[in-house]
């Protein structure tokens, strides 16, 4: 699975992107406020519900597989000590809960990316954040969402090219160097073509963006976001 929008008619697809952004921010706030086993257990239900509402599943998390080893081994590294007692369980547990919190945030993010077109994400940011900064932020997010899948595809193509040229017989360091150089070369090439394309299309800071409007279907999402914000504030207070 690629980290990109997937057309569909699910509940999440019908929501206003601003509602989904509020749910993400509220989820992050309450996740950092309640990093406890019970809190994370309840948030797991919310995260899975968000992903299911976007017709997503476990396969959508495969795009984040690079982060999985870090999240898995972070508790072991945090708990290890030089000298007696050699391993502190309380440190490992605290880091494990934090790692699981990050995983839940990735689940909610995957639901948003799967159900939200790039143009709607840009429109939501530009109409939420005022001024030129909001426009700049919207353009940056739009470019990231559009070109991250392409860059991942370029890296995969570089790896395939190295394997086709008997790269498996080279050392791991040499293979990493070849893939990195090939990926960076393609990335810079895409950046040059992007700049030329923006100039050729008379790139504007105020393009015609899709209309956004809250509807009845957004009410549950807004209520969920509001309740999570309230829970986070009460926890801090």
**What is this structure's pTM?**
0.73
Domain of 220, in residue numbers: 11-116+215-236
Residues 37, 96 share a domain? yes
Residues composing the chain: 237
Q: How far is CA 216 from CA 111, 150, 213, in A?
A: 20, 36, 10
pLDDT digits (tens, 9 = 90+) for 45-97: 999 999 999 998 888 888 777 788 888 888 888 888 887 888 888 888 999 99
Residues 68, 139 share a domain? no
Task: Tell whether 38 is covered by a domain.
Answer: yes
pLDDT digits (tens, 9 = 90+) for 88-141: 888 889 999 999 999 999 999 889 989 988 888 878 877 777 777 666 666 666
Residues 164, 67 share a domain? no
Residues 74, 189 share a domain? no
Distance between terminal CA atoms of the chain?
Answer: 41
Structural domain total, the chain:
2
DSSP H helices, 131-218, are 131-164, 172-200
Task: Tell whether 205 is covered by a domain.
Answer: no
Residues 107, 57 share a domain? yes
Residues 54, 17 share a domain? yes
Residues 157, 181 share a domain? yes
Distance, CA of 138 to chain centre: 16
Residues 145, 79 share a domain? no
């Amino acid at each position: 699975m690629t980290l990109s929008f997937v057309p569909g008619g699910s509940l999440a697809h019908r929501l206003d992107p601003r509602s989904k952004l509020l749910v993400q921010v509220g989820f992050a706030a309450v996740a950092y406020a309640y990093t406890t086993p019970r809190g994370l257990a309840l948030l797991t239900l919310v995260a899975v519900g968000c992903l299911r509402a976007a017709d997503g599943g476990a396969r959508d998390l495969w795009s984040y597989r690079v982060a999985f080893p870090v999240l898995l081994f972070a508790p072991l590294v945090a708990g290890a000590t030089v000298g007696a007692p050699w391993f502190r369980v309380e440190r490992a547990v605290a880091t494990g809960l934090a790692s699981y919190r990050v995983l839940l945030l990735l689940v909610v993010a995957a639901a948003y990316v799967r159900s939200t077109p790039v143009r709607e994400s840009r429109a939501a940011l530009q109409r939420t954040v005022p001024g030129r900064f909001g426009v700049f932020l919207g353009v940056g997010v739009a470019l990231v969402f559009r070109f991250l899948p392409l860059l991942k595809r370029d890296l995969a193509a570089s790896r395939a090219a190295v394997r086709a040229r008997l790269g498996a017989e080279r050392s791991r360091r040499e293979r990493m160097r070849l893939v990195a150089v090939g990926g960076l070369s393609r990335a810079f090439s895409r950046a040059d073509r992007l700049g030329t394309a923006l100039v050729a299309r008379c790139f504007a800071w105020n393009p015609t963006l899709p209309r956004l409007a809250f509807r009845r279907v957004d009410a549950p999402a807004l209520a969920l976001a509001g309740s999570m914000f309230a829970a986070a504030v009460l926890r801090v207070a």
